Amino acid sequence: MSITEQEEQRRKSREEIIKLGIDPYPSESFNINTDSEEIKSEYDEKKKNFQDVSISGRIMSRRVMGSASFAEIQDSKGKIQIYVRRDDICDGEDKTLYNTIFKKKLDLGDIIGVTGHVFKTQMGELTIHVSSLKVLSKSVRPLPVVKESTDEQGDSTKHDVFSNKELKYRRRYIDLIVNPESREIFRKRSAIINEIRSVLNEKNFLEVETPILQPIYGGASARPFKTYHNTLDIPLYLRIANELYLKRLIVGGFEGVFEFAKDFRNEGMSRFHNPEFTQCEFYVAYKDYIWMMDFIEDMFKRIVKNVCGSTKVNCGENTIDFNKKWARYSMYEAIEKFTSIDVTNMDENSLRKVCKDLNIKVDKSMARGKLIDEIFGEKCEPNLIQPTYITDYPIEMSPLAKKHRDKEGLVERFELICNGKEICNAFSEINDPIDQRERFEDQVKLGNRGDDEAMVLDEDYLTALEYGMPPTAGIGIGIDRLTMILTNSDSIQDVLFFPQMKPENS
């Protein structure tokens, strides 16, 4: 590893600090009693509160002025100015801590702990007057320099040399240090998950954990990652969904279960797809997909309002209003609306001709259901910006959804589409074991003709259904895509701390 001149100088500073008898990486705790956000929101100059604060942070800027200096430190909540005077932090004649350490050996990016009292400068800026200072971590790599300029209208512009998307994703820790808006995205992501969990807990649903390593992958149409267990001498798969295990729990007697699950699909990557992603799946006994549509609409309105402060959010050039009544179209209605073609009674050959006429690329492995899905994905989905339910899918597309109670050839399924992408997928779940076996067998046939995303037959799951599962509604919510919408992020990589990337040298 090559070392730059700046890095070499920082390493020398580290060694010199150690020679002066100061450990730049001390072992003992540093007690903190406040943070920058609390000081800024609660300081009262008349009350003279915050007169004994202890805070730590990373040095982000510094103005050295002889025997006194100003600096700005950043903690997990934001930045705050500190005022350091030599005689306040040094005992007697020994001025080493200030003259040598603070002025010469500390750099931007170093982490320090300070105690002192809060005051306002003549310019009105909240500042901590430091009475003691401790080095907590010496940074031997320089941070990217982030500068801000202000125009005549008072608008500020950030000049951030760490704006390269690929570098941000590879070195998220630097992105989080220098770009506070990135930290805010992940705080919102956490808030979204907490809100969903709160809603489900209020309904007394049970949060559970199901296997990530599975002997048979199922619950979705996708290619799995394959591994091997040496002791059991069997192949295992990273789960593509947790659906079949959660429904086993409904068979076992629980009436509402949910799981925040990491799922893995060995397929293409894009700004909407990462091979590792997060879903919340939940299943409720004695309910159907109509109940689930109403439940999800109410839940999302609450989540968006609590997380964003409004039921309207900006997403790219669009303003999405979650408070309006959500539109509902059957899949056939949606295709006809956006293509003027009625595919309701078309067979595979007719659909292939439609795809050709619409310039939609297909292959020989695609049967009727996949062809309809391609038409919908290409010609309908991008047009659905406001939250919209697409319902009543062809039976060929949905091997785990119950046959429609009124419409022959369809199933009771819906997807929530928002900002042109699927956010949720839900069914009235099949609880007829004979019907489910036939659907699995149809999937095996599709696999045999080359569909590498076809489901496999799970005998143990069929055995569970044979013991009887009550009528059940189930859903999967894509946490990553929902977070993209609520944080106005245009790529899934922006809402994942550590997205999958190609090796740097590839």
What residues form DSSP beta bridges with 135?
112
User: For the segment 87-97, what is each residue's pLDDT rounded down to a tens digit?
Assistant: 999 988 889 99
* pLDDT tens-digit series, residues 236-267: 999 999 999 999 999 999 999 999 999 999 98
Stretch 418-440: mean pLDDT: 96
> Which of these ranges, 165-169, 354-358, 486-490, has the smallest mean pLDDT?
165-169
pLDDT of residue 267: 87
Show me where the domains of the chain are located: 5-137, 146-178, 181-325+458-495
**More confidently predicted of 365 and 33:** 33
Check if 5-137 and 181-325+458-495 are the same fold: no
The full 3-state SS of 174-207, as one line of letters, equals HHHHHCHHHHHHHHHHHHHHHHHHHHHHHCCCEE
Higher pLDDT, 451 or 464: 464
What pLDDT does residue 365 have?
Answer: 82
Question: Which CATH number is associated with domain 181-325+458-495?
Answer: 3.30.930.10
Q: Give 367's pLDDT tier (boundaries 50, 70, 90).
A: confident
Is 150's pLDDT higher than 70? no
How much is the pLDDT for 28? 96
**Confidence label for 2 from pLDDT (cuts 50, 70 and 90):** confident
Alpha-carbon gap, residue 200 to 208, rounded angstroms: 12
Share of the chain above pLDDT 90, in %: 83
CB neighbourhood size of 465 (10 A): 22
Q: Report pLDDT for 156.
A: 61
Indicate the average pLDDT of the chain: 93
pLDDT band for position 364 (cuts 50, 70, 90): confident
SS3 content of the chain, % helix, strand, coil (to 5): 35, 25, 40
pLDDT score recorded for residue 146: 64
| Residue 486, φ and ψ in degrees, nearest 5 | -80, -10
Whether pLDDT at 406 is above 80: yes
With 0-12 / 13-18 / 19 or more C-beta atoms within 10 angstroms meaning exposed / middle / buried, residue 46 is exposed
With vertex at residue 270, the alpha carbon angle to CA 266 and CA 272, rounded to the nearest 5 degrees, is 95
**pLDDT of res. 360:** 93
Task: List CB contacts of 493: < 8 A, sequence separation 6 or more.
Answer: 165, 169, 271, 274, 499
**Segment 159-202, tens digit of pLDDT:** 555 778 888 999 999 999 999 999 999 999 999 999 999 999 99
Q: Please determine, for residue 204, whether its predicted confidence score (pLDDT) is greater than 90.
A: yes
Q: What are phi and psi of 59, to 5 degrees?
A: -70, 120
CA distances to 242, 362, 372 from 359, in Å? 35, 9, 14
Q: What is the pLDDT of residue 221?
A: 84
Question: For the segment 368-386, what is each residue's pLDDT rounded down to a tens digit?
Answer: 988 999 999 999 999 999 9
As a CATH number, domain 5-137 is: 2.40.50.140
